């Protein structure tokens, strides 16, 4: 039974897809994430992260108001997420996969790139 709980926990932090995202993943694919998110995508992801209680009001305010450009705002988000823990990064992946089709495709593409890299 303990093994089943562990499998469920792992599954919940890697969903969607099978590649777990972590601090190193965010660093490795920072440019792709930054360039792949539109202003609308960013706002929708932030809404989901607020609903998941990943971000505080102050953190959301910092992300949106501290950066002048869309890329600055995404950088702010990517800088904050690792300090929030592995669960926050998993919820970011889930949120990104759910907001729209291009973002869902971005998640799939990054997972595929990482899977290919790890096979080498």
3-state DSSP assignment of residue 41: helix
**Mean pLDDT over residues 106-113, rounded?**
95
What are the pLDDT digits (tens) for 19-49? 899 999 999 999 999 999 999 999 999 999 9
Q: Are 20 and 13 in contact (CB under 8 A)?
A: yes
Give the long-range contacts of residues 25-30, CB within 8 A, separation 24 or more. 25/89, 25/110, 25/114, 26/78, 26/81, 26/82, 26/89, 28/114, 29/110, 29/113, 29/114, 30/75, 30/78
What are the pLDDT digits (tens) for 78-89? 999 999 999 999
How many of the other CB atoms lie within 10 Å of CB of 105? 12
Structural domains of the chain, with CATH: 21-119 (1.10.533.10)
């Amino acid at each position: 039974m303990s093994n089943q709980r562990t499998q469920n926990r792992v599954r919940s932090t890697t969903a969607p897809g099978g590649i777990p995202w972590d601090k190193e993943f965010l660093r490795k694919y920072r440019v792709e994430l930054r360039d792949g998110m539109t202003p609308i995508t960013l706002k929708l992801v932030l809404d989901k992260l607020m609903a998941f209680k990943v971000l505080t009001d102050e953190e959301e305010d910092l992300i949106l108001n501290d950066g002048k450009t869309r890329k600055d705002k995404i950088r702010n988000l990517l800088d904050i997420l690792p300090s929030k823990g592995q669960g926050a990064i998993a919820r970011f992946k889930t949120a990104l996969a759910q907001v729209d089709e291009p973002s869902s495709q971005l998640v799939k593409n990054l997972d595929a790139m990482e899977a290919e890299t790890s096979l080498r």
